[in-house]
Structure 1
Amino acid sequence: MIVRIMGEGQVRLADSHFAELDKLDDELLAEMEGGDEPGFRRTLHALLDAVREFGEPLPDDALEPSELILPSPEATLDEVREMLGDEGLIPS
């Protein structure tokens, strides 16, 4: 799957990593619903760090369609709330 982190670029991510990412996504959703700004910030960074760690960066000139778009590390709680679907940032 091709994942884009807004403002950073794309990575190719194996499906085998989605269980771990889904746990972080669930935590992020709970923190957002509870208005926990520090928890939200910490978990968003953990989620993006995991994508960077597990993913293989694509060249900057690659024009692959992104199957998943994640917010930038600087995104606010309100900005991410607008991106969320019913299942969080990462659909199950």
Structure 2
Amino acid sequence: MISNFQKGHTLMEIVVVLSFLSVMLLTGQRWLNQQQQQTAKLWQYAQALQIAENQQTLQLLEQSCQPQVTQNKVTFLIRCEADMIIVEYPLGQVKIYG
């Protein structure tokens, strides 16, 4: 028969293990969220850069600049000036000179 000390000891071990697993899960979730945010930033930056380059090409072809572009439900606002193209997006902006 298991004594009360052994029952309490076993219960405490289970609580400690569950606490440890919870901390590990929360840490993993936080890391995953940070990775997703970084991926979103990089994707938006790459898209904005590509849009700016496309607008620069349109300028070289003497065509008008688009005021905005929407890709994957993200809106990119575009300003074309004589020597610069600015593309603003939810997580930042890109400027290219030319």
Task: Indicate the TM-score class for this superposition, using the shorter chain for normalisation.
Answer: 0.3 to 0.5
**Bigger strand fraction:** 2
Structure with the greater relative contact order (CA < 8 A, sep ≥ 6): 1 or 2?
1
TM-score normalised per structure 2: 0.35
TM-score normalised per structure 1: 0.36
**Bigger helix fraction:** 2
